[in-house]
Structure 1
Amino acid sequence: MNDVFGYIAYGENEIYHRGALLSALKLLHYCPAAKIIVATDGPDMFRGYPVETMAISAEQKDLMSFDGRYHFGIKAGCLAEILKRCDRLLYMDTDMYPVGDISRAFEAISPSRSIMRLREKPHAWTPRLAGQNIRIGAYVVTGHEPMWNSGVLGVHRHNLSALLDAHPPMLAVHEIAKIDAAEQFCIGIALSQVNRTIGPHRLKIRNYNTRGKKAFASPLVLQFFKTYGDYPIAEQIRRAGWYRLWRSPLDLWRQRRRWSF
């Protein structure tokens, strides 16, 4: 099996690119043989590191994002492009990072089973989609489907067609429901059809995907490369393995006046 770990990093905010790279270095600390592909519009940030880059052009971003009307379409489009290069893909958002060996995840990925980060609680906006004739492949959206979080996604190449089916209706879901989560909503539905199932990942992966966590971790991500960016790659990987991005009780206390953690 050609198993690949994937990341997607695009845009002008450096933290997305550096976050992907630090997560990849942590991954290489725990899984030294990992094959990593990063879809990015900033390939220079990854030059010299043991990762393969897949360049995203401005034209591709326009096409994937429906001419800029829904930018998370870029993530969905890039997932499909990375999957074309492997048999099994384990993708992580740039604010996700491993804290142990997560290579066993590939054993749970098959043509009939995908993995995603978690199944979210019912959302108030999904009923707005009822009766709108939104189709994901042959399936007509009812507005009562569950939504899976796509911060982690494990998918088999056999299901490439499902990812491709999920992309076109994202714009309609976004514009009708007035939400940004159309990408993961449509992907979850597509990967649940035709005797396919989805399960939670249950891997040693942490994140900084809330406002409070981002406020703490983002400066540390940038500081890692200011401090160690000129070190040999092997040493950067070693240091990345124990580099802390999560908050201690004292850190939480210092953030106690934040309205969102």
Structure 2
Amino acid sequence: MIDPEGRELLISVGAAVFTLRVALRRAGYDTVEELWPEPGDPTLAARVNLTRVVPVDAPTVALAAAIPYRHTNRWPFAQVSVSADMLGQLRDAARREGAVLIAIAPAGRDTVLDLAWGADRWLRDQPEYRRELDRYTDSRLRHDGVPVWAAGPCDALEVVPVRDFAAASPLHRHAEPFEPYPAIMVLATGYDAPIDWLRAGQALQRVLLTATWLGLATMPISQPVEVPAVRKALATRVAGLFPQIVLRVGYGRSQMAGGSPRRSLSEVLMKTG
């Protein structure tokens, strides 16, 4: 229901590929990646090959150090503007992986957030969506997903559409006022094929790790790219590119949510050769 074409799944795979690249580079190895290396095997999205031993540079050290600390923050951010320099570093991070990260100007921010709210309401009206979300967040059925402690409150000001990951929990989800003027960015690509989704995922992870390194908090807002009509409308705000994810960026406050569970390497990594 949420991801019928597997677009967001491949974005997640791309993010994992980038993390692997950083970890290997931090260990002193250069790498070459192959996306869809076996045309006859649609289940093999990427292959990462070691090439040679190389010196470790400072950016790699910083990105690798950010890996254990990177997580989504679904809580209110401090009402402090993110500097143009930091936003520029995030844009550069996306560019290095072949994507475009667009900071939405204040004049267009409300439009993008309105699209996100419209998509969120439409999704919540779909019974299949509710059932799928409940399965993903029910700790009795799985050891991953989004637990209650990472779900965060809803926005009392109704500015930021925070997906309700706590609906399956008996605990009450309270409301708090979020920052009234959030920094909103859209990650986009020039094309929209599966290989572009993988590249978008690598760009997204470089952006998120860079943000963590800079001391910034991030929250993906994926509802507007999960409803085709809304995603098409969002594309008009990003110069006709294909929007892959919307990001909220800022400074987390003291009640930042902890990281959600991760699967073990044995479940997601396959050695070859």
Q: Same fold (TM over 0.5)?
A: no
Q: TM-score, normalised by structure 2?
A: 0.28
Q: TM-score, normalised by structure 1?
A: 0.29
Q: Work out which structure has the larger RCO, using CA pairs closer than 8 Å and 6 or more positions apart in sequence.
A: 2
